[in-house]
Amino acid sequence: MSRDTTNSTGALIAQLVDGLEPVRPLRFSSGMGFALAGLGVTLATVALMFGVRPDVLAGRFDPVFLLATGLFLLLGLASAVTVIVMSRPRVGSDHGGWVWAAATTALLPAAAAIIGLGRGKDAISATSVEHGLDCLTMGSGLALMTFAVLVWWLRRGAPTSPERAGLLTGVAAGSFGIFAFSFHCIYSDIVHIGLWHSAVVVVSAAIGQIVVPPIIRW
Amino acid sequence: MKADEPSLARLMAMAQAGDKLAYATLLGECQRWLRSFFGRRVAPGQLDDLVQETLLALHQKLATWDSARAFLPWLAAIARYRWVDHLRRVYRADETELADEMAGADEEPAIAARISLERLFALLPDAQVRAIELVKIEGLSVSEASRACGQSESLIKVNIHRGLKKLTAMIEKA
């Protein structure tokens, strides 16, 4: 090690020490708190701006609605947890648990495809496409809240895999967005949910993987 | 003092609380540890830059260490991230004497195998490791690397691209 090298690194260390301020460590619980608060705001937005579907308000729950919203909620939670964990780097972390939640949720489009094929042309009418696009648009819009919260958290953290973090940010945001909008959408049809509601997650994930990495690189 | 895991973790906790003396000691120990950690996996002429970049990253990301967890796996994740980023950026065709310089520095890094850079490289196919070593670490041009290892120039580029992509994905996992 040359003297110049020692001097320049020593000078850097002296500067860093001089600039040290006490820091509050990033807590997992804080990250999840912000993510859940974002979900709460998203749900409140749906309730206040669009209204909650009548059967849910009356305490009657359609089984397909329950299963689908439950799956999207779980996928959103699993992805959000992974994103929060990824903000604190550590050799030995896997970050792979969300895949199982994603695989389970993928049963929705798979079921939609099977049922849709059985219905033939009736499965996709102009009206159903119109409703589907509404859900896709609104669900994606509602994803923005969670998206912003997780990106902000990742920027505070140190994700070592920005592409994966971006993808999961999109998955979490899309899942929470369509989970919230499901409380307004009156359709409990598996083809509608499997096709259009799942599309929100796919679109959001694609946007996350493209848009987020440059923002969170460090 | 001996830079063992408990001592480093204790210093880090004190640094997070704003203790400058502890922080100065910690950064000094980290500097020594990082020099050993990067070892042969970076050109000697670029080692100092990489160590300094990593110390700066450590400083900027001080809040991301969790005192309930070990310190070195955290530091190693930051070091690996900076190393892969460094490999992406660095291309030094004029490092012609590199091989000779490296031959003299055969000191084994005193770090746990679990968090070493060798462990990351071990996950790549030999052809990708060779392409990255020749072009990104030893500083050969793509055509020189092609002649040195027998891979076509396009294959060298593909192997570097795929290898770095895989390294990025494995920074914490491996």
Asked whether residue A164 is domain-assigned, the answer is yes
Out of B23, B24, B78, whose CB is closest to A89?
B78
- Which residue's structure tokens are 């203790």? B19
Between B113 and B154, name the one with better pLDDT. Answer: B154
Tell me, what's the ipTM?
0.83
* Partner-chain contact A89 B16, CB within 8 Å: no
**Which string of DSSP letters, residue by residue, matches B47-108?**
HHHHHHHHHHHHHHTGGG--TTS-SHHHHHHHHHHHHHHHHHH---TT-TTHHHHHHT--PP
pTM: 0.85
CA nearest to A90, candidates A169, A26, A167: A26
Q: Which stretches of chain A are assigned E, i.e. beta strand?
A: none
* Partner-chain contact B171 A160, CB within 8 Å: yes
What is the structure's pLDDT at B100? Answer: 39
Which residues from A are below 8 Å from B49, CB to CB?
none
Asked whether residue A154 is domain-assigned, the answer is yes
Q: Does A164 touch chain B (CB under 8 A)?
A: yes
Q: What is the pLDDT of residues B137-149, one digit of tens each?
A: 888 888 889 988 8
What is the structure's pLDDT at B118? Answer: 79
Which residues from A are below 8 Å from B115, CB to CB?
91-92
Asked whether residue A152 is domain-assigned, the answer is yes
Asked whether residue A108 is domain-assigned, the answer is yes
Query: CA-to-CA distance for B26 and B24, rounded, in angstroms?
Result: 5
Task: Say yes or no to pLDDT of B93 above 50.
Answer: no
CA nearest to A25, candidates B69, B15, B66: B66
Asked whether residue A22 is domain-assigned, the answer is no
Q: Does B49 touch chain A (CB under 8 A)?
A: no
Asked whether residue A110 is domain-assigned, the answer is yes
Asked whether residue A4 is domain-assigned, the answer is no
CA nearest to B119 within chain A = A91
Q: Does A24 touch chain B (CB under 8 A)?
A: yes
- Total structural domains within chain A: 1
* Average pLDDT along chain A: 93
Span B26-35, average pLDDT: 94
Q: Does A18 touch chain B (CB under 8 A)?
A: yes
- Which residues constitute the domain of residue A189? 27-216
* Partner-chain contact B18 A20, CB within 8 Å: yes
* Nearest-neighbour CA in chain B from A94: distance (Å): 5
CA nearest to B164, candidates B141, B144, B136: B136
Copy the structure tokens of residue A147: 């998206």
